[in-house]
Structure 1
Amino acid sequence: MNRKLINWGLGIGTPLLLVAAWWAVSQNSTNTFFPPLATILERFQALWLFDHFGSDVLLSLRNLALGYALATVIGVGLGFVTALVPVVRWALDPLIHFFRGIPPVALVPIFISLIGFGIEMRLVSIILAALFPTLIATVDGIRSVDPSLKDVSAVYRLTRTEKLAQVYLPAAGPQIAAGMQVSLQVAFIVMIASEMLGASQGIGAMTLLAQQSFMTSDMWAGILLLGVIGFGANMLFELAKNKVLAWYVGSRRLAKS
């Protein structure tokens, strides 16, 4: 049997088996804190597909998408400058490694104190938390470009723009993509944390409110939604990465075969 089909089968079958096991174990549950999966799915449909979809789900997704997009643009742009301009690298290197050591969630209380509880606080928290993985990956990717590629670009007298677009970006692309994927995960975590700590709207805020109000089924429904969004976002990123870096993915597969 084709190995790819086996992998797809495992990828789809394992979650289905876990859901089936969850359904069977919780079916007759009378535990307040562990309701039946059927009840959780009913509340999931009522809350997240109807009542709170426009007011909370779309708000969280918008903040995540906007914050992550800005963090990516700033991280890649600043990474190129830091890697290619020695003065900038010497000036920013200590700051980059200082801030990368701070847990991203720890930044949220600081921004609440400085900015308040509005959407601006959530966006700034997401941007700064998601910035550093992409920035560091870009710097490392650019600095590890094969020197022979630089020599070839000099021989062909490529302009600076042509070097960036045709030499540095493709060569560093896989490493930049890896940093962007980590940034996406960090952005998702900080989105939830910022809503739980300093917001009255959003998936994280509604899930925390359900927990504090002892609405256990609603809490589980919120956790389930967060898992679905996190999984879906990662899958979409993988599909986009495989499309954009098809040459790299193909070469890796050939090397493994």
Structure 2
Amino acid sequence: MTVTSTVLVRTREARRQRRSGLPRWCLVGAEILVPILLLAWWWLASAGSTNPFFPPLQTILSRFVDFLGEPAFWSDVASSAGNLLLSFVLACAIGVVLGVLLGTVRWLSWFVEPTIHFFRAIPPVALVPIFVSIIGFGTETRILSITISAVFPVLISTIDGIHATDPERRAVGLSYRLSWRDRILSVALPEASPRILSGMQVALITAFVVMIASEMLGSSHGLGARTLLAQQSFMIADMWVGILVLGVLGYLATALLSLFRRRVLRWYIAIRQQEKNL
């Protein structure tokens, strides 16, 4: 039995022995119940509303059902989801590769890190007009702006994770004459993975915000463009539909990344849980 599997077994036993804390089914039920209660409150509070900017939820849901039968709506959903997914994957790949390089080559990191932090301090949305003025409108502009905006959290977290590698483990790798590639893949990246995945969570939020901004600026495709067009055309119910769909898309993206993070960091979560139960 490996060390990781042993830790997992002990963690399960500790969980069964715990007397305090809410059961998992209660937490899952609350996660489902709270949105339902909010929608029920919105339905009752907006019923009979005559305010043109806050239509009844029934009207909004009716427009949403109408959109489900429109191919243009699904095309906008696919455009936004595709741009978000492609840009996020590119940002993670670039951030991890450059982060490993800068994290292992210390002198290069000293020269480059001030510039990285300078551009990181610029609000991501402010970069969108720059890319539009240089490249023009189009899918390439949106993907480039989302990727560059989202790469910094992954890059910085990867550099910090590599720098925080345990010196003793690094020395063990050297004593066993592991190659640079093996030391990175077997020692540095596994130990840095909690920080890297935390940076990916921040990068996903950044990518989602910039995706909406890039679609609202001179684009005719995507949920952001659809929502802005509805607002400018005073189709307020359609605007609310766009906002709700964007919220659902953001929630699903975050949930999938959280599931991926738990799968990858099962060993780390088990160790932390065991430390709490000691």
Smaller-chain TM-score range? Answer: over 0.9
Q: C-alpha separation between the residues in 2 aligned to 1:253 and 1:30?
A: 52
| TM-score, length of structure 2 as denominator length | 0.89
1:212 Cα deviation after fit: 0.5
Q: Report the more deviating stretch, 8-17 or 62-71.
A: 8-17
Structure 2 gaps of 5+ residues are 1-20
- Letter paired with 1:202: G
Match of 1:42 in 2: 62
Match of 2:12 in 1: none
- Letter paired with 1:213: S
| TM-score, length of structure 1 as denominator length | 0.96
Q: Report the more deviating stretch, 165-174 or 81-90.
A: 81-90
Match of 1:229 in 2: 249
Q: Identify the match of residue 163 of structure 2 among 120, 137, 143.
A: 143
Match of 1:158 in 2: 178
1:156 Cα deviation after fit: 1.5
Q: C-alpha separation between the residues in 1 aligned to 2:230 and 2:153?
A: 33
Is 1:244 aligned to residue 272 of structure 2? no
Is 1:206 aligned to residue 226 of structure 2? yes
Match of 1:14 in 2: 34
- Letter paired with 1:184: L
Change (3 A) 1:98 1:41: same
1:44 Cα deviation after fit: 1.6
Identity of aligned residues (%): 52
Equivalences for residues 26-37 of structure 1 within 5 A: 26-37=46-57
Residues matched between the structures, number: 257
1:49 Cα deviation after fit: 5.7
**Which of the pair has more CA radius of gyration?**
2
1:48 Cα deviation after fit: 5.0
- Letter paired with 2:47: Q
1:43 Cα deviation after fit: 1.3
Q: C-alpha separation between the residues in 1 aligned to 2:201 and 2:65?
A: 29
Q: C-alpha separation between the residues in 2 aligned to 1:252 and 1:227?
A: 32
1:87 Cα deviation after fit: 3.3
C-alpha distance after superposition, 1:25-62 (max 9, x if no partner): 11221211111111111212222563433421101111
Structure 1 segments of 4 or more deviating over 4 A?
none
- 2:217 match: secondary structure: helix
Question: In 2, are the aligned partners of 1:117 and 1:199 still within 8 Å (CA)?
Answer: yes
Structure 1 gaps of 5+ residues are none
- Letter paired with 1:7: L
1:195 Cα deviation after fit: 0.4
Superposed CA RMSD in Å reads 1.3
1:6 Cα deviation after fit: 2.1
C-alpha distance after superposition, 1:173-224 (max 9, x if no partner): 0000000110011000000000011211110001000000000000000000
- 1:52 match: secondary structure: helix
Question: In 2, are the aligned partners of 1:75 and 1:134 still within 8 Å (CA)?
Answer: yes
C-alpha distance after superposition, 1:108-165 (max 9, x if no partner): 0111110111111101100110000000000000000111110111121111111111
